[in-house]
A and B are shown apart, each in its own frame.
Chain A
Amino acid sequence: MNNPVQKYRGWSRAQAAMAFLILAAAIACGLSVYSSASSLIGVSRTAFSVLFLPLLFSLVLAFLLDPLVTQLEKLFSRTVSIFFVYVLTLGLATLLVLWLVPHLQEFWGNMRTDFPRYTHQAIEGLKRSMAALHDRFPFIEDYGLPMKLRSWAEQLMAAILAQTPQSAMKIGGLLILVPLFTFFFLRDGRRIMSACVALAPNRHFEMAHDLSYLVSRQLSQFVRGRVLEAIIVGLVIAGGLSLTDIRYAPMLGIFAGVTNLIPYIGPIIGMIPGLLIAFADLGVGGQFWWIVILYILIAQVLVDNFILIPILISRVSNLHPLLVFFAIIIGGKLYGVIGMIIGVPIVSVVKITLLEIRTYRRNFRLPESALESDRPHNL
């Protein structure tokens, strides 16, 4: 009687239909839950990717402006201090834009005529060197490299032309969101942080609170140091280049400053356009060598390595070159050029956090698991 097969055989048709319906409903429910969950992940990913850049820029800006606000807070309330800092920053930004706009216009206007000229020169140079190579090693096949370079350059130009309005839209969006987010990070950052820490269980609250303070202090120092370093290196290069006859000196300075955020590889990438333009426009001469010295000896060795890094950047945030490459490749894969720039700082941030936790664990014995019996034994 208890045999399940017999029981199954004993089901009436209505019971079998009901069982089938329940099973089908269960599968449908499972599928819908699965699909809604995956669409939820998709939605959150889209939302995150939209918010990622504004949040990141706002955090960096908040870290940069926080010391100023803290100084002013000794005299005024926090909101008023933030307001003053905003007015100051807005003034500085306006001056910067006023100075930059003519250069940008010139850059944009000339680039359309200059870019094909530079490509043409590069292709000619490549053709010459390929011919020389072919003379020496006749067995090397002609891969049509100059043609490939030409089509690649044309594609790049087309992409720049097509994406500029799109990037302008994005920058416009950032210009609205970043100040707004930064304001709230500056005003309520501490409250947001303590609300997050308050989620920790009682037994680990003290440690979480201490660690959050230590990590955020290290992070703010790191972010401030890197950004200041990039700004100073950019200014030195822009200033040094403007002593020569090279065109686009401010643009090249900005480019070198931004790429300087990437250790090891950044400075090399940063100097390529400057050297190429110098080579194409000025030829190999006194000015060209001055530019080489400026990029390598003055900006990198003297200013960055001897002056800025010892003062601004703590040794803690040094990354292994291999880790830098990983960060750049993965960052580039995830977020393109911006991912390449921010990948390394993000890895540094993770490293700083882990190191702080390790130092803390070394200094103190960690609390044992809260699972141990808390009840008194001999009361």
Chain B
Amino acid sequence: MDPLWINIFRKKLDEESLAYFLKHLPIFAELSPRALATLENLVHVRNYETYETIFAEGDPGSGMYMIRKGSVQIYACDQNGAEEELARLIPGDFFGETTLTAPAPRSASARTMETTELVGLFRADILELAERKPSISSSILLGLTRVVSERLQAASQEIRRLRKQSSEQVSRENIET
């Protein structure tokens, strides 16, 4: 076939489409094509410059962001204003998911490290979808809950490991003294 015609009739579920990107995120991996199409209309694509603040600690948090292109630094400031990097996120990662269901101030700040494209999903959209299409919104929220609980589990394991490590260290110091 002529390359021109191939180009015209090519279906847009290629790597550049938003649906493809969403489908390959762990949160939305189990969504049906119909739910994915709804989600595609629900999210907001935002473009950021280098070193642009996405949100600051204490800002009203109303949703989560997924990184499509670029990278994002999550950091917190201590009382003296010194910044401590908490995480460096790359395409495919997401952040801010804790404020998606419950309104709360942001617990850390986020800024872009290069030209970045983010896909935002906000509480208002989810609430509105829950009225229109409850089944789709619940499948989206289920996926989110699964990932959040996995993260919580990993975090509690990490806390246990750190606690064990610190108690071992304390006992070692006691023995030495």
Contact = CB atoms under 8 A, between A and B. Distances in A.
Contacts of B111: 374, 376
Contacts of A74: 132-134
A351 interface: no
A379 B131 CA distance: 45
Interface residues of B, number: 33
A210 B124 CA distance: 6
A302 interface: no
Contacts of B60: 206-207, 210, 360, 363-367
Interface residues on A, range: 20 to 34
B121 to A, nearest CB: 11
A73 interface: yes
Nearest to B96: A206
A150 interface: no
Given A206-B60, A206-B120, A363-B103, A378 B132 contact: no
A375 B52 CA distance: 8
Interface stretch (B18-26, B43-51, B141-149): B43-51
A194 B46 CA distance: 12
Interface in A356-379: 360, 363-368, 370, 374-379
A40 to B, nearest CB: 32
Contacts of B122: 206, 209-210
Contact of A70 (B48, B73, B131): B131
A364 B102 CA distance: 13
B73 to A, nearest CB: 8
B63 interface: yes
Contact of B83 (A206, A209, A376): A376
B133 A374 contact: no
A361 to B, nearest CB: 9
Given A70-B131, A203-B53, A365-B105, 16 more contacts: A73-B132, A74-B134, A198-B44, A202-B48, A202-B54, A206-B59, A206-B63, A209-B124, A213-B124, A360-B60, A364-B60, A365-B58, A367-B55, A377-B81, A377-B82, A378-B82
